[in-house]
Amino acid sequence: MLSFPEGHQPRYNDFSIRAISDETLREGGERAPFGADDSRKLRLIEAVTGAGVTDIDVGSGITEAAFVRNVLDAKYLMGRIPERTEFSFNLTLKTWEPLCEQLERNIPREYLKEMYVSIGMIEIDSENKLFERVAERLRSIGVGRLRSSLLNAFSGTVDEDKYAHLNDQIERCRQQGISLVRINDSVGTLLPDATAILAANLVHDNADFTFYLHGHNDRGIGTANSLVSVFHGFQMIEGGVAGVGNRAGLAELESIAAVFAERNITVEAAALDIEKLSAAARLSEEVFLAAPDPYRAVSGFLVENENAGIVNVPDYLGVSRPVDYFLNRIGLFPVYIKQILAEAGADPVMLKDDELIQQIYVRLAEQMDELYQQKRVEYDRLAAQIKAFYADMVRLNDVQTTALEVIRERADRATVVGV
C-alpha cells in the first residue's frame, strides 16, 4: 500500500494554487438528459468565467466543435469572455476520429493554436501507440496545446501497482511534451485518506507536472477529495458550479471558493467571487433543465433561510449570519413570539400579556396548518410532474427501435423501387 513520501508536509491555509478548471459545460452537457441550447450554454460560460474561473472544459460531442468556434468568437471578436480564459476540448481515444475531423472543419487554426485538447483513455491500443499518433494528428491540424486525463476506477485506496500504472501513463505524457494532467476519480470511489497519499506522491515524483483531481461525487465527497488534493500538493482544482457533473456530479466550485476564503487560499489566475459563482450555479440548473435545488450548500436558493425558532442553533451558538428567517410549526413557541415582538420594538406592557401572546400563537399555528395542507397538495402535484418530466429520456432500447424503423423503411423503399 502506498504511503506518504518521506518529509511530506501538507498545507492547509495561506497558500495559492494556479487556477480553477470548470467542468460545468462539458459534464453538464453530458449529464443533461435533453441537452441544452448553445445560447444558454454561452451565457453560462460568461457567468462562470465572470466569477473568476479561467479554465473551461468543453466538448465532447460531435456538434460541440461548432459551439466552441462560437464561444471563441464570443471571446476574441465580441469580448464577451475575459481575455484570461483558456478552453480545453475534451476527447477520448474512443471518439477521437470524428472529433478531430470536427475540430479541423470548424475551428480556424489561429484558434486551435491557442486552445488545449485534452486526451483521455490514453491506455487504449497502447501497443500501437494510439495516444502518441492522436497527439501527432492533433498537432498536425494546428492544435497548440495538449493535456491528458488519466481515468481510474479507484477502489477507495491506491495500491502500488495502480500507482506504478499511473506513473507509466504520466511518462507517456511527458514524452509528448504534456505537463498538465487530470487525475480522474471516474467513478467517485476515492476516499480522502487515499486522495491525500496519491496527491502527495504524484507531486513528489513528478515535480515537472501540474495535476488536478477530477473528483466525482458518487459518495458525496467529491468536494472534500478535491480540497484534500490541493492540501497535499495538487496545483489546480476542478469541478462544476452547483457540483454539476455526470451522475452525482463533481466538486462544487462555490463550496471550494467558500473554504478558500476562510483559509486564505488564493488562485493565481484570478480571484474567485462566491456570489457570482452561486449565481452561475443557479443558472446552470436553468441551462441543463435540472430541478432547482433549494438547499444545496452555498448556492441553493433557500440555503440562506433559517428557522427563527428553537431550531435556530447558529444564533444560540453565537454564530448568527445575515440570513432570512422564517417560522414553522416546529419553531413556534410563545417565548419566541415575545422575543420577535420585543426586537421589533413592541410595547413592554403588551409583552407581559400572556393571553395576548397565546392568542397570537394559536392564530399563527392555524395559519401554518392551513398553509401546510395547501402546500402538501401542490408539492405532490409538482413532484409527480418533475418525475414525469425526466421520464421520457432516450434510452438504449430506443437505438434498437430506431434501427428497426430505419431498416423497415429502407426495405419498403427497396420494394417500391424494385416494383
Return the ∠ at Cα 222 (arms to 292 and 322), rounded to 5°: 55
Which of 21, 184 has the CB closer to ligand KIV? Answer: 184
Q: Quote the least distance from Cβ 120 to ligand KIV, whole Å.
A: 4
Query: Is 149 among the residues that bind ligand KIV (CB under 6 A)?
Result: yes
Contact, 64 vs 73, CB < 8 A?
A: no
Which of 151, 224 has the CB closer to ligand KIV? Answer: 151
**Identity at 367, one-letter amino acid code:** Q
Q: Quote the least distance from Cβ 164 to ligand KIV, whole Å.
A: 20
Which of 121, 272 has the CB closer to ligand KIV? Answer: 121
d(CA 401, CA 408): 11
Contact, 88 vs 58, CB < 8 A?
A: yes
Helix axes 130-140, 96-106, angle to 10 degrees: 10
Q: Quote the least distance from Cβ 90 to ligand KIV, whole Å.
A: 6
37: number of Cβ within 10 Å: 10
Query: Is 217 among the residues that bind ligand KIV (CB under 6 A)?
Result: no
Q: Quote the least distance from Cβ 228 to ligand KIV, whole Å.
A: 18
Query: How far out from the chain centre does Cα 284 lie?
Result: 10
The interface with ligand KIV within residues 52-91 (CB under 6 A) comprises 90
Q: Quote the least distance from Cβ 186 to ligand KIV, whole Å.
A: 3
Q: Quote the least distance from Cβ 216 to ligand KIV, whole Å.
A: 6
Q: Which three cell numbers stand for residue 64?
A: 460541440
d(CA 380, CA 139): 55
Query: Is 239 among the residues that bind ligand KIV (CB under 6 A)?
Result: no
119: number of Cβ within 10 Å: 24
Among positions 24, 54, 85, 92, the unique one binding ligand KIV when judged by CB under 6 A:
92
Among positions 68, 151, 213, 228, the unique one binding ligand KIV when judged by CB under 6 A:
151
Contact, 86 vs 56, CB < 8 A?
A: yes
Which of 151, 197 has the CB closer to ligand KIV? Answer: 151
Q: Quote the least distance from Cβ 53 to ligand KIV, whole Å.
A: 17
Closest by alpha carbon to 180, among 145, 211, 139?
211
Among positions 120, 240, 243, 249, the unique one binding ligand KIV when judged by CB under 6 A:
120
Give the x/- contact pattern for ligand KIV in 168-207, rule: CB under 6 A. ----------------x-x---------------------
Which of 246, 278 has the CB closer to ligand KIV? Answer: 246
d(CA 406, CA 388): 28
CA distances from 376 to 260, 290, 383 (A): 40, 22, 10
Positions touching ligand KIV (CB under 6 A) are 90, 92, 120, 149, 151, 184, 186, 214
